[in-house]
Amino acid sequence: MSGTVLLGYDVESASDSTAGFLDGAAELHTRFDVPWSIYLVGTTVEARVDDILRHVDDPLLTIGQHTYSHMLLKSIYMDPRDGKEVHGGAQTYFMPGGALGELEVEIAKTQQVIRDLLGVECEGLTGPWGYYRGLADREDILRVLHENGIRWARTNARDFRDCQPVPFTQQPYFYEQQGYPDILELGIQGYQDDFYWDRFDDRRHGDTYQDYLFATVEEVAANDWVWNLCSHDHGTFTAEMFHATKGKWLGDFIERAKDVGVRFASPKQVYDEMVAAREAAAE
Ligand SMILES: [Zn+2]
């Protein structure tokens, strides 16, 4: 058995949920000694800087960004074709992405906020909402990321319907053909959180998200896949609320993954391993 899991969280609520989530997640990851990443919205950093500073020196933690105002890098058009409403409206859903000039400001400003307020040089980004094919069709946005020092990204996070799950055939890749061989796309395989699993009603493995996680991590181990698993700082006003809700399935998941022989890694670790593998293959 093998396989690799990365645990990465969007921290974007700019509320008490930010503090509760970070405190709870830090306890969880310390207890299990597994790395974690957070992708910070710039306005959340400004609003909750002390909550974040408590954890900046955590050796298990990697800090990435999630744009300044949660602006989408690409437009999405969700069309699940399952006869059910999307986000409480019609059976399709459109969300516009930012213009390139706006994205330049959003990404540069967030790098600056993280540098000034947290003292961190940020190299990672999660694209708000996630997109089909990530940025494989957007060399212009990759240029903006590259100019701002971003070297790994989670943007490949929707399927061809602009929905989920993202199939596990979507493994991490470098944006070589686009001219950015030093930017790694990690993707978000599967669902972006428990509430998306629920919306897309994936009961193939049982009635709970945990059933899905347990069955999927066995596939990850059997196929030696990378799984970049995602969650959010939503509804976690205290660390106790974190432990009673998503901390519960996260903890059970970590234990299960360890049982089936999957390892946990940081984005930088996967990045360095894939660069080394590429260099070895070229020799
Ligand atoms: Zn987000």
In order, the DSSP letters of 88-129 are: TSSSSEEEPPPPHHHHHHHHHHHHHHIIIII-----EEEEEE
Cα of 174 vs centre of ligand 1, distance in Å, is 23
The pLDDT of residue 12 is 97
Find residue 77's DSSP bridge partners.
94
pLDDT value, residue 47: 98
Distances (CA, A) of 47 to 50, 101, 111, 232, 251: 9, 25, 16, 17, 28
Structural domains for the chain: 4-282 (3.20.20.370)
pLDDT confidence of residue 209: 95
Cα–ligand 1 centroid distance for 127 (angstroms): 7
Cα 133 → chain centroid: 15
The whole-model pTM stands at 0.97
pLDDT < 70 stretches in the chain: 1
70 Cα to the center of ligand 1, angstroms = 6
Distance CA 25, CA 31 (A): 10
Residue 56 C-alpha to ligand 1 middle, in angstroms?
20
pLDDT at 1 (0 to 100): 54
The C-alpha atoms of residue 16 and residue 51 are separated, in whole angstroms, by: 9
- In this prediction, residue 27 carries a pLDDT of 98
Which token pair is 226?
A: 């990378």
Question: Ligand 1 mean position to 10 CA, how many Å?
Answer: 5
CA of 275 to the centre of ligand 1 (A): 28
Please state, for a pLDDT cut of 70, what percent of the chain lies above it. 100
Closest CA to 230 of 193, 197, 199, 257: 193
How far away, in angstroms, is 283 Cα from ligand 1 center? 40
- The Å distance, Cα 150 to ligand 1 centre, comes to 17
